[in-house]
Amino acid sequence: MKRRLKLHAACALALLALTLPSAFAQGQKTHGLTPQERRGRAIYLRGEGTPGRELKALVGEVDVPASTMTCAGCHGARGEGKTEGGVTAGNLTWANLVKPYGHTHPTGRRHGPFDEAAFFRAVSEGVDPSKNDMLAAMPRYQMSAEDAADLVAYLKRIEDDHDPGLSDASVRVGTLLPTAGPLAAAGAAMRDVLAAYLNELNAAGGVFGRKVELQSASDAADARRLAEAGEVFAFVGGLSAGADAEVAALARELEVPFVGPATLLPQPGRYVFYLMPGPAEQARALFNFQAQRQPQSHLKVAVIYEESEFPAAAAAAAAEQCEKSGRGTLLKFSYARGKFDPAALVRGAKGADAVLFFGADGEEKTFIEEADAAGWHPDVLLLGALTGRELVSSVPAGFREKVFLTFPTVPTDLTEGGEAELRALSAKYKFGLRHTAAQLSALAAAKTLAEGLRRGGRDVSRERLVTALEGLYDYETGLTPRLTFGPNRRVGAAGAYVVRIDPERQEFVPASGWVKAY
């Protein structure tokens, strides 16, 4: 049973999301802050202006990106003001700024109340409403009148801008799991694990004394309803494949974090943290693997792919990685679904040292046989999730040790401790070990969220959670490859393992350790 669990984890996790239908719908309502206030919030918290209008901060005589000198960094996440290093950054809540009797600062500087124009001058010129110079430590920001208006709009709401789903006693989290259709059983299996893990976490005191409470959404529209109603602080785990665009939009519009949604087609976005690699990361890893195989050579690589979403994403990433490396010449060949012509593709790509083939329905097998018949034997690199099992037993002799596949996990990723943790939860909470890949994904996501909440501290907020997750480096779940996130990285296991086909033993054997995508 133990070996079956590990093998199932290694292979099934890679294939989990391929069967997920596009059955989720996106709602249209908004909640909380207006679009202008949300833009102001992005300026205040992160120094992010409207796309196309970069914000700059002048510190002394040096221009720096506003993202390195944010308002919140000195004045606090709620504009409450704080003192650090003997310098006091004042209270920026609008109610405080417009007090009719004005302000007297610790330095003795006095001035009247702010209005919107005076605030803009303070931000851009460094003078208060009485035209006094403000502290030299206060950056001068170069921003448009529109951005300044957005910032003021947010400051008028900042005191009321409390993250939903969070109280002194609890933090409410959601998960996106189908309750009907072919994925209902997998969803129920994942929910068993999430509920059990959070029960154990709460029995041990929760996170900084807060109980972590779980709510389920059956589709993306239901998840949007929970978020818009202020019912959840973040989402954890779940099945987002088929609803990735809707989830990305929800996360972006309402600034709600999603931690570990299961899919094979991750969508970029600040608030969504994927654990496992998608086609882009695995295709980059394949190119890097080939570059390692030919360290001194100029690579001539052909990328062949079907013109559908998953293969096209892999092909685009491989081409970008080739260009970024400066190591090779890349030829691209695509074909429409149902228009696969292996002879024409072999004629076009013949002469390449390696072929990255991203097709479907056993097309890789036909391509390899056609190349063999033509006397051409390049390395062939494939995504395991797109490769038929029948290839293992039918590799021509000329391609011995030349066919390679990626997998996002291998059996050794499931450590003894990780397996024991899942089994202990199963035994205590009396749920079966079924849809194991889905259950491992859910447990890894729950552990990652809990770690982010701990690192976020007692004063955790959505922004602090995002920052905490960005700081995870080589985080060991015991269930997945080690996870690393960063300010510009939202796939924790960004890479893949590469295996080759052993036709004599008719099985996969390791060709490399973990190959990074970047």
- Each residue of 397-434: pLDDT tens digit? 899 899 999 999 999 999 999 999 999 999 999 999 99
pLDDT confidence tier of residue 107, bands split at 50, 70 and 90? confident
**How many degrees, rounded to 5, is the angle at CA 73 between CA 72 and CA 79?**
30
| Residue 404 three-state SS | strand
User: Which pLDDT score is estimated for 24?
Assistant: 34
Candidates 453, 489, 451, 456; CA nearest to 470 is 489
Q: Which helix (H) or strand (E) holds 245?
A: helix 244-254
| DSSP letter string, 446-490 | HHHHHHHHHHH-TT--HHHHHHHHHT--SB--SSSS-B--BTTB-
Topology match between the domains 2-28+164-276+414-487 and 35-160:
no
Task: Report in angstroms the alpha-carbon separations of 56 from 51, 306, 381, 481.
Answer: 13, 44, 45, 39
CB 351 within 8 A of CB 374: no
Q: Is 464 exposed, middle or buried (0-12, 13-18, 19+ CB in 10 A)?
A: middle
Boundaries of every domain in the chain: 2-28+164-276+414-487, 35-160, 279-407+496-516
Level-2 CATH architecture, domain 2-28+164-276+414-487: 3-Layer(aba) Sandwich (3.40)
pLDDT digits (tens, 9 = 90+) for 59-73: 888 889 998 889 988
The pLDDT of 490-494, averaged and rounded, is 97
CB 152 within 8 A of CB 119: yes
pLDDT digits (tens, 9 = 90+) for 282-306: 999 999 999 999 887 788 999 999 9
The pLDDT of 256-278, averaged and rounded, is 93
CA 237 – CA 499 distance, rounded (Å): 28
Spatial strand order of the sheet with 403-407 comes to 328-335, 299-306, 354-358, 379-383, 403-407, 495-502, 507-516
CATH of 279-407+496-516, one of 3.40.1350.10, 2.30.29.30, 3.30.1360.40, 3.40.50.2300: 3.40.50.2300
pLDDT digits (tens, 9 = 90+) for 417-427: 999 999 999 99
CA 7 – CA 437 distance, rounded (Å): 10
Q: Give CATH for domain 35-160.
A: 1.10.760
For residues 32 and 113, the model is more confident at 113
